[in-house]
Amino acid sequence: MKTALVLTMLLMGMSALAGDRVTDSRQQSFTTPIGAWLIDVEFPIVDGAPPPPPAFQETLTFHAFGTVSESNTLLNENSYIPAIGIGCGFTGPAGSLELNCNGSDGTGSWQRTGFNTLDFVVVKFVYDGATNAHVGFLRVSGTLEFAGDEISQDPAESLTEILIGTDYDTAIAIPLGGAIASGIRIR
C-alpha cells in the first residue's frame, strides 16, 4: 500500500513538473497579445493634409476578455503648454491643425482576428487645453500584428479620429489618418 502511495505521489509530482514546463514554454512563445506593450507611434506625412503630430510613445495593455487600456506621451493632461499656446503636438505652418487640447487615458476593446492579429478600438476624452472643458473624444481603431515580444501596425490598417461634441453618438468625426506603430512587450 505504501509503495502505491509513494508511486502515486511521484507520478503526481512528475505530472506537475511537466505541466510547469508546458506552461513556461507557452509563456515564452507569447502567442497571445494579453499583456503590456510599449509602442512608438508616428503619423506619415500626407500631401494636402495638415502636418502630422510629432512621433510619440504609447503604452497599451490588452486584458483578458477583450478590454484594452492606453496612455501616451502626446495627448494627455500634460500635453498642452498654455504659456506658449501649443497643444496636442498638431502644430505647423499657417493653416495647420492646432487643437490646444488635453486628453484622458484611453479605454476600449479588442478582438483576436487571426493567429497573430487583432482588431481594436480605443477612446479618450478630449478637453480644451485652456478651460479644461470636455469638448470631444479621440478614437483610434485598427489592426495590430503581434509576434513574440513585438507588435506592429501599418498606417493603412488604422484610423485616428477627433470627435467634436460631448455626445459620443452624435459627435462629428474628423479623420486624422493612420499611424505607423511598432513596439515591444513590457516584461
* DSSP line for 16-57: HHHHHHHHHHHHHH--S--EEEEEEEEPPP-TTSPPPPPPEE
Residue 129's pLDDT band, with cuts at 50, 70 and 90, is: confident
Owner of C-alpha cell 511537466: 18
pLDDT at residue 26, rounded to an integer:
42
Task: Give the residue among 2, 42, 33 at the shortest CA–CA distance from 177.
Answer: 42
pLDDT of 20 over the 60 cut: no
User: How many angstroms separate the CA atoms of 176 and 69, rounded?
Assistant: 21
Task: Give the residue among 78, 85, 84 at the shortest CA–CA distance from 102.
Answer: 78
pLDDT of 163 over the 60 cut: yes
pLDDT at residue 107, rounded to an integer:
98
pLDDT at residue 113, rounded to an integer:
96
Pick the CATH number of 33-185 from 2.60.120, 2.40.160, 1.10.10, 3.40.1620: 2.40.160
pLDDT of 168 over the 90 cut: yes
Q: What amino acid is encoded at 20 in this protein? A: D
Residue 15's pLDDT band, with cuts at 50, 70 and 90, is: very low
pLDDT of 164 over the 70 cut: yes
pLDDT at residue 146, rounded to an integer:
95
What is the Cα gyration radius of the chain? 22
* DSSP line for 87-107: -TT---STTS----EEE--EE
**132 in Cβ contact with 101 (< 8 Å):** no
Centre a 10 Å sphere on the Cβ of residue 3 and count the other Cβ atoms it contains: 7
Average pLDDT, the chain: 79
Burial tier of 32 (Cβ tally within 10 Å: 0-12, 13-18, 19+): middle
Bigger pLDDT: 39 vs 20: 39
User: How many angstroms separate the CA atoms of 156 and 94, rounded?
Assistant: 27
pTM of the model: 0.76
Owner of C-alpha cell 493653416: 95
pLDDT tens column, 54-112: 889 999 999 999 999 999 988 775 655 555 455 554 444 334 445 577 889 999 999 99
